[in-house]
Chain A
């Protein structure tokens, strides 16, 4: 869906402020309305939005913003800061019990992705934390849910504890912990059945499991696409069970994921992990600040602002801007960008987050293969200094050498050169697009804005 990011939404107001040079209360009000809409469109719960906007308004009308030379950008900054505060600044780790095994209960609505997440988490614990997890199949209701976990266990070569679907989940959970102790597994991940937070019988069952196994973590698995109802679900699970954290799933979709804010706001429990793909290792530690940008649809505008405003090396920023504008980009810049981008998360999401990228032909449905990036990097690194700064000199013989050096084919090299040209064209397009919008020279130095 063609969501407008906050930066785009605020453009109109920015332009007005710029031409006038001062910020009025009315401007702030208008900007707050846009902030509010952006959050609502991102599925943040309306109550949460209301409180948030009030908080931001207070800060936005304060001295620090009004006196600033770039009030419009300051507002975005304030919004982002407050949002990041709300989401929690720190990454939050999964519990480790002093007495092995650490017991983790996975709970949530039907279809949120509990079973898949259980397997992903097991893989994460083994790979990243060097642990030995046991998965316990306690979803006795959904047809073949046990089989699903068992299949995932086989794929991962990891043990799954199951007793069929004729045994009570409380018993399965209890026995699984005993089993883990016996086998010296240091984590037990209990996959429970999906249930409605309104279903008293089933919610009681979870409480009984909790009492029986005394878990160190109760993770609520929440679908990132959840709408306004996220608050009710999270509040209810938290009240009845006392959850310790949240896993946000299906973040590889094109949802803004405002549910993250809602859930955090009503439970005050950290979001610990994010599910970001179909593959079994597509589980990441949750980054609150990235989520804030995603929800606002601001892409990397913020880091651009920070760069433009606070960077000591303003020269460099100016140079970059000039390059982008004139499309005088070299492969060195490209590599630099690549490295920055790589640290930010899955690329196809990032593409969606770049303001204006949705409008670009060909970019909209761009599919980015992460392994492809490694190849691209290898190719660029196999170029000589001169080739990097003057790609035009790369002839057939040079291509052959580059391909050999990077372990790729000439076709790969050709493709990259072509993409690089396209990228330059795109930048030209972008800068002319925004030039059309603004009149005169403003403070905003980047073509995105």
Chain B
């Protein structure tokens, strides 16, 4: 049984809300991608150079990294040669298989590392404008729903209005926000926040940080310090360092993931803004090139639109029509 058949069986009997939320959120992604795939097979009957070039473009159009695509297409060309496949339709299952293999590489653990006892600290990092503060608001909401005592640390002391933004989220969700003045040392905020979280016996502390472009060495050093201060207070903390990535980002997302990993050893990725027309193909590239799992994805504006990432569901959502066609 092929990978996709397995997926198909798994999900065809499943009609719960989560699956449909995935499908709705990703519908733009899917329509575009599979539509083009189908066109490709209709247009090209024989496997030739033009066919592969077109295939390359479809994958690149989904923001799958160029390196990943080139690798994939090379493998396919090789496969077509040795199996002597000339009919494009016969190549279709090979394509699915190879794509799936890229995604299936690892069994990812997408669970968030929450401590059974004591304080759990999550640090949120990323470039400017990816949605760190909003994500924290949503994560806080979901932990609150589980009955946990959540606190937020306003570590973005740089951007105008950032502290206030987190405070509004605190009010909305009904959790405390630890803050200092704008412009103060974010590491000091973290220290304060941990002390308060301890004395107020909080379960979860979510730490916001200022957005920073990964090529700004000074700012990355500052982030390293923030992390160090947290680890000094609680040796195994932060329990998660989550890199927030904007799904509309192109090739640069890989550079972001690499650099933030180097500096803060990120433990997972939150992929936001997948409800737009962005294809989210970046996930393929990240999984293929980096050993960091995607843990959460943002599928909409509402608090409950932040969902755990399910690789199988994600693939299925992307390729459904292709598989079932």
Contacts and interface: CB of A to CB of B under 8 A. Distances in A.
A367 B168 contact: no
8 contacts: A1-B258, A42-B251, A111-B246, A152-B160, A155-B160, A229-B277, A250-B127, A254-B215
A144 B275 contact: no
Most buried by B among A42, A43, A115, A233: A43
A252 B213 contact: yes
A1 B63 contact: no
Interface string B267-282: 0000001011111001
- Taking residues whose C-beta sits less than 8 angstroms from the other chain, chain B's interface range is 35 or more
Given A42-B251, A110-B131, A115-B161, 8 more contacts: A111-B128, A144-B167, A148-B164, A149-B160, A227-B282, A233-B276, A254-B213, A365-B215
Interface of A: 1, 37, 40-43, 45-47, 50, 109-113, 115-116, 142-145, 147-152, 155, 196-198, 223, 225-230, 232-233, 250, 252-256, 258-259, 278, 348, 352, 365, 367
B23 to A, nearest CB: 16
Given A227-B249, A255-B250, A365-B217, A40 B273 contact: no
Nearest to B168: A143
A278 B248 CA distance: 21
B218 interface: yes
Contact of B129 (A111, A229, A254, A352): A111
Given A43-B252, A143-B165, A233-B248, A227 B213 contact: no
A42 B66 CA distance: 10
Contacts of A144: 161-162, 164-165, 167-168
Contacts of A223: 129, 246, 248-249
Contacts, number: 151
Q: Name the residue in B70, B172, B213, B253 with the highest tally of chain A Cβ atoms < 10 Å from its Cβ.
A: B213
Interface string B235-263: 00000000000101111111100100000
Contacts of A233: 248, 276-277
Interface stretch (B8-16, B54-62, B108-116, B193-201): B54-62
Nearest to B67: A41
Nearest to A145: B161
Given A37-B66, A144-B164, A151-B160, A43 B250 contact: yes
A172 B217 CA distance: 40
Given A111-B246, A233-B248, A254-B215, A151 B255 contact: no
A152 B160 CA distance: 7
Q: Pick from A1, A113, A232 the residue with the most CB of B within 10 Å.
A: A1
B60 A228 contact: yes
B122 interface: no
Nearest to A223: B129
B248 A43 contact: no
Contact residues of A: prevailing secondary structure:
loop
A28 to B, nearest CB: 16
Contacts of B248: 109, 223, 226-227, 229-230, 233
B28 interface: yes
Contacts of A227: 63, 248-251, 253, 278, 282
B165 A228 contact: no
A300 B255 CA distance: 23
B98 interface: no
A107 B72 CA distance: 38
A147 B60 contact: no
B164 A228 contact: no
Interface string B118-148: 0000000001111100000000000000000
Contacts of A278: 158, 216
B165 A1 contact: no
Contact of B249 (A37, A113, A225): A225
Nearest to A352: B215
Contacts of A45: 61
A253 B60 contact: no
8 tightest Cβ-Cβ pairs between the two chains A and B: A227-B250, A148-B161, A111-B129, A143-B168, A43-B250, A144-B164, A151-B160, A144-B165
B201 to A, nearest CB: 27
Contacts of B216: 252, 278, 367
Nearest to B211: A111
Contacts of A196: 275-276
A257 B170 CA distance: 36
A228 B253 CA distance: 12
A254 B169 contact: no
Given A233-B248, A254-B215, A228 B279 contact: yes
B157 interface: no
A253 B214 contact: yes
Contacts of B62: 228
